[in-house]
Amino acid sequence: LSDAENWFCECPKLYSGKLCQFATCDENPCGNGATCFPKSRRDAVCLCPYGRSGILCSDAINISQPSFSGMDVFGYTSFLAYSTIPNITFYYEFHLKFQLANHRSALQDNLIFFTGQKGQGLNGDDFLVLGLRNGRVEYSYNLGSGTATIISKPLDLTLNIHVIHLGRYLQKGWLKVDDQKNKTITSPGRLVGLNVFSQFYLGGYREYTPELLPKGSRFNNSFQGCIFDVQVRTSMYEEFKSPGTPEGHPNSGRSVGQCKDSPCSLIQCRNGGKCIEGGSTVYCDCLTGWKGAFCTETVSVCEPEHNPPHRCKQGGTCVPLPRGYACHCPLGTTGTYCEQG
C-alpha cells in the first residue's frame, strides 16, 4: 500500500515487519523434527513427531497403543507411516483392534489404514484401504481393474474394543468385524495382483490431498481413538507380524499419543487459557489479551493480535502509553490515526 512518499506492507496473518519478512516459525522453537505451525504472529504450536510430546516436543514418550486425534484445527492429521508391506501382491491377512474416541467418530469417514499407488484417481490405481463410514467398517481394494468394497453391518457402539479380521487371495476378499458374520467379495476385471508403492499409513495420511488418492479410497478424516495390535501376514504358512522395519517401528508419524494418556494433565495454562491436546501435541489456547506458551504474557495494545487492533493508518507507528496508545505519523501524514494527508 502506498500514499505519495510512504509505502508499507499490510501483512497476512502469520507475518510481521515492514516487508512482512518475519514469520513465527522462522526461529523454529520446536525440537526433534516437529512440524511448526504459527498459532498467532508471536506464538507457534509444535505438532509432535512420533515418540515425542510436550509444548516443544521435548518429552520422549513410549507408545504401545497409538491414539490418533483426527484432524487438528491447523488442518493436519495425526498418522503413523510404516515401510511398504512386502509380498502383499497375491495374498494378505490383517488382524487389528480399535477403540473409538466417541460415538460420533464412527460416522465421519475415518481412515484406519491405507497403502497403494498415489495416482490421479483413474481406474487403474491399485490400493488397499480400511476405514469407518456411517458407523460401519468399510474395506476396499483395487487390483487395477476395478474396486471391490465390503461394508460391515453397523458397529455395536456399546462394545469398548472392536476386532477386525480381513484378507484377500487373488481376486477374492473377506472381512469379519467383531462377532458379525464373515462377508466376502470378488474384485471385478481380470487382474489378480495388488501393486502398492506407498508406505503403510495407519490412522491418517502425511499430507491430505484427496485428489491424489486413488478413487474409492477417499476417507477424508484421520482416525479418532486408538488402533492397536495390528498384525499382518502375506502367506498362509507364515506367522502374523507387526508392520514396519524393524518390526513394529514406524518410519514417521505426527501427533500420535499413547492410548488413555492425557498430555494436558502435565500442563497448566494460566489466565483462563484452555489446554488443547491432539494425540501427543499439546498447547494453550489463550483468552483475548494473553499470549505465550502458557498464556502468561499480556498482549500490548500495539501488537497485531490485540483485540481490537490499533487504528494507526498509512504506516503510522503505534506507541503504547500508560493509558491507550498514540500514533507516530510518517512524513506527509497527520491526525490522531495518521489518517489525513
Looking at domain 15-63+262-297, its CATH architecture is Ribbon (2.10)
Q: To the nearest whole number, what is the mean pLDDT of the chain? A: 86
| In the chain, domain spans | 15-63+262-297, 79-255
pLDDT at position 231 is 97
pLDDT at position 19 is 64
Q: What is the third-level CATH fold of 79-255? A: Jelly Rolls (2.60.120)
Residue 122 has pLDDT above 60, yes or no: no
pLDDT at position 17 is 59
Average pLDDT in the 116-129 region? 70
Cell of 254: 505426527
Average pLDDT in the 307-313 region? 87
pLDDT at position 4 is 47
Closest CA to 231 of 243, 221, 216, 220: 243
Closest CA to 202 of 134, 136, 111: 111
pLDDT digits (tens, 9 = 90+) for 39-95: 776 678 888 999 999 888 988 999 999 999 888 777 788 999 999 999 999 999 999
SS3 for 67?
strand
pLDDT digits (tens, 9 = 90+) for 124-144: 588 999 999 999 999 999 998
Q: How far, in Å, CA of 217 to CA of 117, rounded?
A: 11
pLDDT digits (tens, 9 = 90+) for 174-233: 999 999 999 999 999 999 999 988 889 999 887 656 556 666 667 878 899 999 999 999
